[in-house]
Chain A
Amino acid sequence: MRTTDTLSSADRWEHIQARLGINRMLHRVKPGLYTLGEPDPDSPVFVTSNYKLSFDALRSSLKGMSAWILVLDTHGINVWCAAGKGTFGTNELVKRIALTNLRQVVRTRVLILPQLGATGVAAHEVKKQTGFKVEYGPVRASDLPEYMKTRKATAEMRRVRFTLLDRMTLVPVEMLGYALPTLIAGAVLYFLGGWFSALALVAAVLAGAVLHPILLPWIPVKDFSVRGFILGLLVMIPFLVASLTGSQGALWLRLLKLVPIVLGYPTVTAFIALNFTGSSTFTSVLGVKKEIYRYIPLMAWFLGISVVLTIGFAVAKALGG
């Protein structure tokens, strides 16, 4: 199969779709061996996943180069996540080398893999089973031209980052993912507490899906749940002020009305923030597990109390209280 180092407008349109999570499992490339330019048996062999964004990032980074590209079948999942699952793994690589007859097609016995593929591939195993030496290139395909000059990755090339741009790229898919649940819960809240409650929910969700990814490194708290809760509280300030100045009646009743604002809505933000751990590039299994055990029970209490109170206020209002 042949491919090129240039991206067409159709490619770019598909990238936008992928970034928005549209047809997200369908952005696939056929697994197998591709030629880029006019490779000879000594040209370098690059290995990638069959997720379109991964494949395109690789080929468009190899501008003007002649090379072989071995695409593994990762079911349309990117290299790092597929490596975590083992689909970008030793077995698939060994199998794909055999299926494509790579040993006969090329003379080189070196495969250049993306560094993040290392989570699924045991280099010494591949060497033992196929004779190919696995060489881990840089984390990012864009560093490949520099890497190919010396075949050595700098410490910087070996580090995963989570830049503002990386995080902003995730915002659309975050927002779209929470759109439907927010719409449904917002409609329910509108019937219970009017526009005030519905808007508070939207604010809380946006704080989790938009503000949290963007502001992540600048809020000096490590736990995602707590960071989310703080952000949730911040966006609740206008609602808090509105509730304090707008409501009448006994002091205890006015204070009780603040409970969902102080506990309930920020919990929504906290939960969304906790779910961002999977999108981040640095959270450990043990840490996330600790967060779940620490904060999920608390979140359930906060949310439960708030839901009961919100329903209570709505019932009282309907009864003319």
Chain B
Amino acid sequence: MIPSFDIILLILLVVTAIVSLRVRDLLSATMIFGVYSFLICLLWAEMGAVDVAFTEASVGAGVSAVFLIATVFNTSRNSSD
């Protein structure tokens, strides 16, 4: 536990979560969602849950971002709401 590092990570986590919901361009929403996954991966690694962090880095930040990009490629790029 490194409190100041934790606080920075948690603030960035909330900011990226809100931004990825609010942004209209779905491709940037996907990218920001990848950043969110990577931040939560850092948080878990820092708390000592290395297995969970590993899964989050490979699945959340890696493959699911690719899936979302592939879906955006085949649908429309801008969100309607």
Whether chains A and B associate is no
